[in-house]
Amino acid sequence: MGLESELMTTADAAALWGITTRRVQILCDNGKVNGAFRMGKTWIIPKGTTKPIDGRTKEAKRQTQESKYLYHYFERDFGPFKSFAALPIEEARAILIERKKAGKIGNPNIEGFLKKRYDADKRLYNAFVKHGGKPKNMNPIYFFLGEHRQWETAYENPEVIKIPLNEFDPLTVSFTYGDSFAIFNPALFGEEEYWNRVYFADEIRDVVGRLGFPPHVEYDFKRGIFPKDKHINDCLLHVEAHVWDDVILEKYRADWRAQKGGERNV
């Protein structure tokens, strides 16, 4: 199968996306089409490339507004801003065994999960430091850039805390364009710019401005709804954020405690 079968012209993209060829050319000229490249005077686009979000639409304006906030979802009984991988592994293992006996987790491979979780935090830490980040902690607290209410289904009694992104020191927050399990999985790497890398806030907002948020994937942990064509850990799902400093989090944790009256340990 030749290379031509993997590429399309601006006319092909225009027909696929329902816009004019001229509009596709303008998007390419402005760097809005992921993976597009020039062949002579002609723009060539990889097949499967998603249509960029039109900055003039209501959806684009909504996404721009959403990208100003970080959302942290958590279990009400345990409280916000807990890093599972910051625990000694023996303590983490004991918690998982207890929760499995209570029917609170469905993953039968506790050791596999522990290794994957601890390795993921180390990988993110190393990638962020290499990128120029200044993490104050070895383990991040996970957030989403923008609202992602599907994640509430991962918890029995979900709650969410929303924090303006501009409250954080930009050198202590990293981002991945997609779930970090997928982004750092070599088996999934493609030609897109976002594989195997982390971003600062200004960089990820530029990516979202060009590509939009990752495509919607239908899933619901409580109802057992998952993608049919691939494992959920192989989907981008969202823009993930990682906070590596407790300064701002302590303020919001104190506010939450004052409203809710305390929390349990992890």
Per-residue pLDDT tens over the stretch 147-196: 999 999 988 899 999 999 999 999 999 999 999 999 999 999 988 899 99
175, 204 Cβ separation under 8 angstroms: yes
170, 200 Cβ separation under 8 angstroms: yes
**Angstrom distance (rounded) from CA 77 to CA 162:** 18
Nearest 5°: phi and psi at 193? -70, -20
**Angstrom distance (rounded) from CA 111 to CA 90:** 11
- What mean pLDDT do residues 69-76 have? 94
Provide DSSP, 194-236: TTT--B-HHHHHHHHHHH-SPPP---BTTTTB--SSS-GGGS-
Query: In one letter, which amino acid is 124?
Result: L
80, 250 Cβ separation under 8 angstroms: no
Above 90 in pLDDT, residue 133? yes
| Cα maximum dimension of the chain | 65
- What mean pLDDT do residues 46-60 have? 71
DSSP state, residue 52: P
Average pLDDT of the residues of the chain? 88
Q: What are the extents of the domains in the chain? A: 3-52, 63-260
Per-residue pLDDT tens over the stretch 189-248: 988 899 999 999 999 998 988 888 998 899 998 888 999 888 998 999 999 999 999 999
